[in-house]
Amino acid sequence: MLHDIFRKIGYLIRRSQQPGNAHEEAPDERKLFERLELNKERIQSYYGNDLVLRACNVGSRAALLCYIDGLADEKFIGDFVLVPLLRPWLQQGMRLSHIKEHFLTAGDVKETDALPLLLGSLSAGDCALLLDGEAGALLISSKGYARRGVEDSTTEMTARGPRESFTENMRTNTALLRRRVKSPDLLFDLCSAGRYSKTDITIAYIRGIAQEETVAEVKRRLAKIDVDAVLESGYVEQYVEDAPYSLFATVGNSERPDAVAARLLEGRIAILVDGTPFVLTVPCFFMETFQGVEDYYARPFFATFLRVLRFAAAIVTVLLPALYLSFTIFHQEIIPTKLLFSMVGASANIPFPELLEMLLMSFTFEVLREAGKRLPRAVGQSISIVGAIIVGEAAVSAGLVSAPMVIVVSFTAVCSFMVPAHNDAFTLLRFIFIAAAGWMGGVGVLLCALCLLAHLASLESFGQPYMAPFFPLRRGDLKDSLVRAPLHDMVARPTGMTGNRRRVGGNK
C-alpha cells in the first residue's frame, strides 16, 4: 500500500518537472471566453500569418470568423457561411445554436466550447464562427486544400485490374474503400497519433468478419503510440508490429484499394493514415508478397505459374549467389567437367578471391539499383540496367571479375525485382548467405537456412503465424498459397483469421 502511494507521488513530481508541450495549458483555461476580444487574442497566439480572422456582425452582435488560409475553401465559406450570416434583416440577440439550425447551409456543423477542438478543426481545414457574449463556437467543415487526384499505382502495377490507387487524403481513401465494399458493416473507427502532427488514423474492418480481439489489439497498440509526429504509415507500422528487430515486416501495406478491400474481406484490418497513400493491413502473412492482386483476375493456371515463378525468383535472389560461391570454392565436384574448365579459364587471371569478388559485384549492383530508384523514372531505369551491363562488361574486360560471376549477380538482381515488397529483407539475407557460404560452403548455407526457417516460423503477426499456411501447415489454405485454385473452390476464408469462414453462399 505505501509502495503504491510513493509511486504515485513520484509520478506526479516527475510529470510536473517535465517541460511539457509549450501549448499545453492548465485544464480550466481550455474553455472559450464569453468576450470575443479575449477569444480573438487567444486564437491569434497560435498559428501565424496563415490564420485569417474575419470580423463581422451577425444581427447586432459582433462575430468572428476564423480559418487557415490554404486549408479552408474560401469560396465555400463565402457562399455558405458569410452570405447567410450577413443579412440585414437578422433578428437581434441570436444564439449560435439558432444560427446553426436555421441559417447555415453548410453540411457538417458542430458546436463546441473547447478551445483544443476549435484549434484541431482549424488545423484540419474547417472554419470557426464565434459570437460576442457567448462562450462557444460553431465548427463548420470547409476543407478545401489542394490534393492529388486518384491516379495509377506506381509501386503495384498490373496488366489487368483497376488502375486507381490511394491518395494522401484519408477521406478519399475511405471513399475508395467504401465504393468497393458497400456493406454498412464496413466500419471506420477514427483515432489520432502524434503530439504535434495530430495525424488522423482510421481503422477499417468489416464487422462480422474481422475478429473483435484483433481489432481491440490494433486499437490498443495505436493508442500506445506517443511520439511527436506520425508523418507516414511507416511510422505506425514500426510501432505496432510484433517483431521490430526482424528483417521481415509483419505488417502488410498496399497502395491499391482493390487489394486492401480483398484483404478486409478475408478478415484483416486496414489502417489508413492521413497524408500517405500506403494503407497498412494486419495481420500480415509472408505469402501475401507472392499473392499479386492480378492473380485473382487472371485464370488459375497462369496465376499459379506466376506465383511459382515469384517464389522461385525469391529463392534464387537469396540463395543463388551463396550456392554459386559454395560450389566454386568448396564443392567443385558438382560442377560438370566441361563447365568447370571454362570457369577455371574465366577466373584464371582474376586478382580477387571468389568471396571478395562476389561481395564487390553484389555491392556494385545494389548501388546501381538504389541510384536508379532515386532518379526520375525514365532516367532511373536506364541507369540501373544499362549501368549494370556496362559496369559488368567493363569489369570483365578489365579482368577484375569473371564472366560467370557477372551472370550470376545480374540474374540475381533481376530476380529481386519480381518480389519488390520483400526486396530489402532479401537483399540483406543475400549478403548473410554469401558470408555463410564463404565460411563453410554448402553446410554454412544449410545452417543459415535453418536459422532463417526457425526465425520465420517463430514470427507472429497480431496473433497469427506469419508463415501460415506453411508453418504451421494449414492444408485448407494451401489452395491460395503456392497455387491459386479456381475461385469457385475457394469457399472458405483463411483459417484463424475469422470465425465466419464461409466466403460463398449462406453467410452466417
Partner 1 sequence: MQNAERKCRGFVALLLVGLLFLFAACNGSRELYDLGIVLGIGLDRSAEEGAVDMTLQLASGLQGEPGGGMGGLQSGEAFINYTLPGDVSLSHFRQFKLRMQKEVYLAHNELFVIGEPLARAGIGPYIDFFLRDPELRVSTNILVAKGSAAELLAAEAMLSEYPTLSLSQREDSYPLSGATSRCSLFDFVSAMASECRCATVPMAELQAGADGEPISVFNGLAIFRGDTMIGTLTQEEVSGLLFLTDAVRNGALRFSVDGSVVEVELQRSKTKLCYTVQEDGTADILVTIRSGGRIVSRAGGAAERNSIIRAGETRMQEEMLMTLRRAQELHADIFGFGDAIAKCEPDWWEVHGGNWEANLPRLRFAFDIVLEPGEL
Partner 2 sequence: MRNQSFTPRQLGVALAAFIFAANRFSSYYTETLRQDAWLSVLLGLLFFAPIFLLYVALAREFPGKGLFQINEIVFGKGIGKGITVLYLFFFILINSMNQRYVADFTVNTILPEMALAPLVFSMAIVFAWVLRCGLRATMRIGWFVLLFAAGALVLSYALLAKQMQPANFMPAFRHAPVRYLQSAHTNAIISLGDMLCFLPLLRYMQPGKKVLRPVIIGILSGAALTLLCVCQNILVLGVLEPYRLYPAYDVARLIRISDAFSRMEFLFTIPALLLFTLRVLFLFFAIVEGMGQLFGIEDRRPLLLPTVGLCAALTFLVVSGSGELKAFTMGVAPFFSGFFVLLLPLLTLTVFLVRRNRVQEVIGNNAECREEVSA
Q: Rounded to 5 degrees, what are φ and ψ at 283?
A: -65, 160
Contacting residues for 109 by C-beta, under 8 A, at least 6 apart: 100, 138, 139, 140, 141
The residue (of 371 and 449) whose beta carbon lies closer to partner 1 is 449
Look at residue 67 and give its three-state secondary structure: strand
State the binding partner of 470 from partner 1, partner 2, none, CB within 5 to 8 A by kind. Answer: partner 2
Query: Site residues for partner 2, window 389-448 (CB under 8 A)?
Result: 439-444, 446-448
Could you say whether residue 333 binds partner 1 (CB under 8 A)? yes
Q: How far is the CB of 365 from partner 1 (least distance, A)?
A: 19
Could you say whether residue 245 binds partner 2 (CB under 8 A)? no
Of 270, 280, 140, nearest to 206 (Cα)?
Answer: 270
Angle between helices 300-329 and 354-374 (to 10 degrees): 140
358-363: long-range contacts, CB 8 A cutoff, minimum separation 24:
358/321, 358/324, 358/325, 358/405, 358/409, 358/434, 358/438, 359/431, 359/434, 360/401, 361/392, 361/395, 361/401, 361/405, 361/406, 361/409, 362/321, 362/409, 362/412, 362/430, 362/431, 362/434
Could you say whether residue 491 binds partner 1 (CB under 8 A)? no
Choose which of 56, 350, 485, 490 interacts with partner 1 (CB under 8 A). 350
What does the alpha-carbon distance between residue 289 and residue 426 come to, in Å, rounded to a whole number?
Answer: 12
Q: Which stretch binds partner 2 (CB under 8 A): 214-222, 330-338, 379-387, 409-417?
A: 330-338
Could you say whether residue 450 binds partner 2 (CB under 8 A)? yes
Choose which of 333, 349, 488, 508 interacts with partner 2 (CB under 8 A). 333
What does the alpha-carbon distance between residue 351 and residue 502 come to, in Å, rounded to a whole number?
Answer: 63
Choose which of 330, 365, 433, 462 interacts with partner 1 (CB under 8 A). 330
Could you say whether residue 338 binds partner 2 (CB under 8 A)? yes
The residue (of 444 and 496) whose beta carbon lies closer to partner 1 is 444
Choose which of 458, 486, 487, 504 interacts with partner 2 (CB under 8 A). 458
Q: Which stretch binds partner 1 (CB under 8 A): 201-209, 224-232, 334-342, 451-459?
A: 334-342
- Looking at the DSSP bridge assignments, the partners of residue 465 are 460
Q: Site for partner 1 (CB under 8 A): how many residues?
A: 32
Could you say whether residue 360 binds partner 1 (CB under 8 A)? no
Cis status of the peptide bond prior to 469, with omega within 30 of 0: yes
The residue (of 106 and 401) whose beta carbon lies closer to partner 1 is 401
Sheet holding 127-131, edge to edge: 51-58, 61-68, 127-131, 137-140, 109-112
Could you say whether residue 331 binds partner 2 (CB under 8 A)? yes
Could you say whether residue 187 binds partner 1 (CB under 8 A)? no
State the binding partner of 350 from partner 1, partner 2, none, CB within 5 to 8 A by kind. Answer: partner 1
DSSP for residue 476: G
The residue (of 231 and 473) whose beta carbon lies closer to partner 2 is 473
Query: Site residues for partner 1, window 218-277 (CB under 8 A)?
Result: 245
Q: Half-sphere exposure (CA, 13 Å, Cβ side) for 319? A: 17
Binding site for partner 2 (CB under 8 A): 330-331, 333-334, 336-339, 439-444, 446-451, 453-455, 457-458, 465, 467, 470-473
